[in-house]
Amino acid sequence: MKSKANSLKAKPFLKWAGGKTQLLVELEERIPNKIKFTGNIKKYVEPFVGGGSMFFYLKKNYKIEKAYLFDINKDLILAYNVIKNYPAELIKFLSKFEKNYLKKDPDRRKDYYYRKRKEFNEQIKNFNYEKYDYRWIARTAYIIFLNRTCFNGLFRQNRNGEFNVPHAFYKTPNICNAENIIAVNNVLKNTEIICGDFEISERYITKDSFVYLDPPYRPLNKTSSFTDYSKEGFTEGDQRRLSNFYKEMNKRGAFLMLSNSDPTNEKEEDKFFDNLYRGYHIDRVFAKRIINCNATGRGEIRELIITN
Tell me if 43 sits within 8 A of 210, measured CB to CB. Answer: yes
Q: What are 95-124's pLDDT values in tens digits?
A: 999 999 999 999 999 999 999 999 999 999
In the chain, where the domains are located: 3-73+185-307, 77-179
Sign of torsion over alpha carbons 248, 249, 250, 253: positive
Task: Please determine whether the domains at 3-73+185-307 and 77-179 fall in the same fold group of CATH.
Answer: no
C-alpha span between 73 and 79 (Å, rounded): 10
How far CA 165 is from CA of 51, 77, 89, 107, 117, in Å, comes to 17, 19, 26, 17, 9
Grouping H, G, I as helix, E, B as strand and the rest as coil, residue 195 is: strand
Binning pLDDT at 50, 70 and 90, where does residue 215 land?
very high
DSSP sequence for 30-66: TS-HHHHHH-EEEEEEESS-TT-HHHHHHHHHSEEEE
Superfamily of domain 77-179: Adenine-specific Methyltransferase, Domain 2 (1.10.1020.10)
Superfamily of domain 3-73+185-307: Vaccinia Virus protein VP39 (3.40.50.150)
The DSSP bridge partners found for residue 301 are: 287
Task: Report the pLDDT value the prediction gives residue 289, as an integer from 0 to 100.
Answer: 59
Binning pLDDT at 50, 70 and 90, where does residue 7 land?
low
Binning pLDDT at 50, 70 and 90, where does residue 3 land?
very low
Q: What are 22-52's pLDDT values in tens digits?
A: 899 999 999 999 999 999 999 999 999 999 9
Q: What are 149-185's pLDDT values in tens digits?
A: 999 888 888 888 899 999 999 999 999 999 999 999 9
